[in-house]
Copies of this chain bind each other. A is one copy, B any other.
Amino acid sequence: MEQRQEPRRRTGGRSARVVRDVLKATLDELSRSGFTALTFEAVAARASVSRTTVHRRWPSKQELVRAALLCLAEVQPTARDTGTLRGDLVEFIRIRVGLEGQRERFAGLLRANMTEVLDPELMALGRLVEAKLDQPIVSAVDRGIARGELPPGTDPRLIVAPVFMTLAFRVFVQRDDLDPGFAEQLVDVVLAGARTGAAVRRACQAP
């Protein structure tokens, strides 16, 4: 469940392991305490390395958090290509919303995002990470359009948002369990709507 790739592959075993452990510890601390309360000491302790080891590579808290957030998108488990858009979306739901470990982490990061006024640079980084996290789902929608499952010009945001934000709200914010029957019917409603052409990008909207 917690299979992770190293954020940057290095040949050196220990160095790569330290980077991976520190960035994972940073994400854990960030989702537990938020940005303001996050300390080098807590990250170092959680990663079982010295404070100096952390500080040498990432001199500021901003840099450390930036590296950890950029790594988050890369270590996501990948969904297999099921051959249908419906199948792919159900698979992404399982991976993004259904896994226990993911749930805790995402809920914590969202809480940090809601609670704190981050500096503009980190806010922009948050948007970038969200976009990177959504990219594989957007690609699955694009594959569905290419296969003719949805009309050309369909806006992937109008598929991704109502499925994943709705479930994220229920699971991460309202702390409900994921109801697979509800989730699958939600996918069916959104796809049925999109098949009618209702999700085709409108000329009058911003691109």
- A→B interface (CB under 8 Å): 107, 110-111, 113-115, 130, 155, 157-158, 161-163, 165-166, 168-170, 172-175, 181-182, 185-186, 188-196, 198-199, 202, 204-206
Contact = CB atoms under 8 A, between A and B. Distances in A.
Contacts of A186: 158, 161-162
B199 A181 contact: no
Contact of A162 (B107, B190, B196): B190
A112 to B, nearest CB: 10
B189 A113 contact: no
A130 B169 CA distance: 13
Residue in A155, A170, A185 whose Cβ sees the most chain B Cβ within 10 Å:
A185
Contacts of A195: 196
Copies in the complex: 2
Majority DSSP secondary structure for residues of A touching B:
helix
Given A165-B166, A202-B185, A114 B172 contact: yes
23 contacts: A110-B114, A111-B114, A111-B115, A113-B173, A113-B174, A113-B175, A161-B186, A162-B189, A162-B190, A165-B169, A166-B166, A181-B202, A185-B198, A188-B198, A189-B190, A189-B193, A189-B194, A189-B199, A192-B193, A192-B196, A193-B194, A193-B196, A193-B198
A34 to B, nearest CB: 10
Contacts of A190: 162, 189-190, 193
Contacts of A157: 182
A188 B198 CA distance: 6
A4 B191 CA distance: 40
Contacts of A172: 114
Please provide the 10 A-B residue pairs with the shortest distance between their CB atoms, ordered closest to farther. A193-B193, A192-B198, A165-B169, A162-B162, A189-B193, A192-B193, A165-B166, A192-B196, A189-B198, A169-B169
